[in-house]
Structure 1
Amino acid sequence: MASTCASAPSRSASSRSTRASIDRRRRRARRFAFVHRRNAVSVEASPDGTSLERVLEAAVRAAKEGGTVMARKVGAEVIKTKANARDLLTEVDGEVQRIIEAKVAEEFPHHGFLGEESVAAGKDASADALREVLETGPEWLWVVDPIDGTTNFVHGLPLSAISIGVAYKGELQVAVIMDPFRDECFTAVLGGGAKLNGTPIKVGEEATALEAVVVTGYAPTDASTEVMLKGMTALATLPVRTIRMFGSAAIMLAWVACGRVTAYFEADLNSWDTAAGALLIREAGGRMTNLVGEEYDLTVRPILASNGATHDELLRCLMSTQRC
């Protein structure tokens, strides 16, 4: 996302801008080289010999079938609330999860499955469920949110998605985020880069917070909402270019990965909200940590995902007010 100026720059300013642009591209090249050396594994097979391409293909098929149902039933009625009145559930959430779970059971009967609709509502329940499956479950684990952005879905807003992250011994290997309303399928394989409908994608080129388009969420609990509001106030004061709120963690993570937005932070998310997006962002050249700068894993709940270049500046700002 390039910056624009109200008036033509002087020759000296233009020269400085050109040098800055060149330096920026060099930094990005070095960062991409580091990311792919760090993740240098075969994209053909996982450590136990399972074909990652086969896992990816199965995840894409399941996501597209579930997405067809979502697109047809957008605006479905709420059948109940979960943690509170902000945390909604429709019959379509369960229907889409059953589609994906059945595909996994058919194709990979030895794999584990953790879906949002199989876990009781609440932070403790979700954390306990993840811990149990990581400690005692199969080595392979599918972490699935059948409809991320259910409130948008209920209100007929075309900003929700299916999120599928597949991990081996806790390390993410495959990611799929399916947006059925734009027919956009974001995919990633560890060490193989990130793609949108088969075309490689990368994070945005913003170098400073002043250039950054930051997105965030509206938490379902009062405690998390307080953290989010403090963070937004701090970022507005920094300042960043703008702050947006789209209502789907999966969409916002996918959009960081493809450069539509620069960064996304939220105070309290579940593994099914973030698993797929975390791998997408890493494979697209970005970075994802918690809100004290520790690298993301499946147990992380507060997150900052970014294009990498702006990460430290944004993180310092958030840490200065939240102390998460």
Structure 2
Amino acid sequence: MKKGLGADVKKTKASKKDLLTEIDPICQKIIEDEVLKQFPLHKFLGEESVDPGSAASSKALSELISSEWLWVVDPIDGTTNFAQGMPMSVISIGVAHRGKPVVGVILDPFRDELFHAKLSCGAFLNGQRIVCGSESAVEDSVIVAGSPTNLRSIAPSLRGINALMPHCRSIRMLGSAALHLAWIACGRLTAYFEPDLNSWDTAAGAVILREAGGRLTDLEGSDYQLTTRAVSVSTGFVTRE
């Protein structure tokens, strides 16, 4: 990823906004080969193994979600940033046991930051324990909004920005769901919402965030599951408010 930053777009996928560079499948193969070498009986779901579109990704997940062990991987989360030469993309690796995320690892190679968590064991950044920020009200919050590649999901994202902007400290759009989750877990951001994500965007961050004291739900407030596509993320207090 470091050597390939700014790589040319190889093709577009579900839309002209959904990019693939030559580096994405290379990163996924490295991860998949190592996982299956160490755990040959485990199942593997990587973004670059699935046809574009929400229907295809949901189908792929449904076929594997009941596996005893399932690795859910986004080899480069934030591909548009990556293709533009902006060092704001990460590797996201989540592990689910019978459909429940139990381990999460997010690697930011550009900042040499490794976020990791195991269920009931806490969340860590480069070996140091992390917790969510202490903001207790929306007006003190820095919120990050998604910028969906799915054109139908842009309108609800913009409605959320319009509703929240007058009440919060600021809203950002950083372009990487996994990075958003990791940064909320370590207190750099307060909250995040996005109407259309895939399991590989959130599987790792869900564990890290939970172990750091944050809350990840769908937009109606139900607890996160691997099948959740529309997410609301923050400290519990700000979510309720």
> Shorter-chain TM-score category?
over 0.9
- What is the alpha-carbon distance in structure 1 between the residues aligned to residue 231 and residue 165 of structure 2? 18
- The residue that corresponds to 1:244 in the other structure is 172
Alpha-carbon shift at residue 222 of structure 1 (Å): 2.1
Q: Is the 8 Å Cα contact of residues 214 and 244 (structure 1) preserved in structure 2?
A: yes
What CA deviation, in whole Å up to 9, does each residue of 1:36-94 have, x standing for no partner?
A: xxxxxxxxxxxxxxxxxxxxxxxxxxxxxxxxxx0111111111000011000011100
Q: Structure 2: give runs of 5+ residues left out of the alignment.
A: none
Looking at both structures, which has the greater relative contact order when contacts are Cα pairs under 8 Å and sequence separation is at least 6? Answer: 2
1:172-251 residue pairs with structure 2 within 5 A? Answer: 172-237=101-166, 239-251=167-179
Equivalence for 1:119: 50
* Contact 1:257–1:307 under 8 Å retained in 2: no
- The normalised TM-score by structure 1 is 0.74
CA displacement at 1:293 relative to structure 2: 0.4
Q: Tell me the amino acid that sits aligned with residue 228 of structure 1.
A: S
Deviations 1:102-157, CA, capped at 9 Å, x for gaps: 0011000010000000000000000010011114xx31000000000000000000
Note if 1:167 corresponds to 2:96. yes
Distance 1:297 1:101 in 2: 23
The alignment yields a C-alpha RMSD, in angstroms, of: 0.7
Q: Distance in 2 between matches of 1:173 and 1:231?
A: 30
The amino acid of 1:272's aligned partner reads W
- Structure 2 distance, partners of 1:302, 1:126, is 14
Q: Which residue of 2 aligns with 1:302?
A: 230
Code of the aligned partner of 1:292: E
Q: State the alpha-carbon separation in 2 of the partners of residues 309 and 206 from structure 1.
A: 9
In structure 1, distance between residues paired with 2:124 and 2:150: 34
Structure 2 residue matching 1:231: 3-state secondary structure: helix
SS at match of 1:288: strand
**Aligned partners of 1:278 and 1:133: how far apart in 2?**
18
Map 1:268-287 → 2, pairs under 5 A: 268-287=196-215
Q: Give structure 1 stretches of 5+ with no counterpart.
A: 1-69, 314-324
Q: Matched residues, percent identical?
A: 56
1:75-86 equivalent positions in 2, closer than 5 A: 75-86=6-17
The answer on 1:254 being equivalent to 2:185 is no
Q: Which has the higher helix share?
A: 1
1:140 is matched with 69
Structure 1 runs (4+) deviating above 4 angstroms are none
Correspondence for 2:19 among 76, 85, 88: 88
Q: Which residue of 2 aligns with 1:53?
A: none
Give the corresponding residue for 2:192. 264
Cα distance in structure 1, aligned partners of 2:73 and 2:196: 17
1:149 to 54, 59, 78: 78
Contact 1:113 1:143 (8 Å CA) reproduced: yes
Alignment partner of 2:180: what SS?
helix
CA–CA distance in structure 2, aligned partners of residues 273 and 249 of structure 1: 6
Deviations 1:154-183 (A, max 9, x none): 000010000000010011111000000000
TM-score norm. by structure 2 comes to 0.99
TM-superposed CA distance for 1:214, in Å, is: 0.2
**Distance (Å, rounded) in 2 between the aligned partners of 1:157 and 1:217:** 17
Quote the residue 2:36 is aligned against.
105
1:292 to 215, 220, 235: 220
Q: CA deviation at 1:236?
A: 1.3
Contact 1:271 1:300 (8 Å CA) reproduced: yes
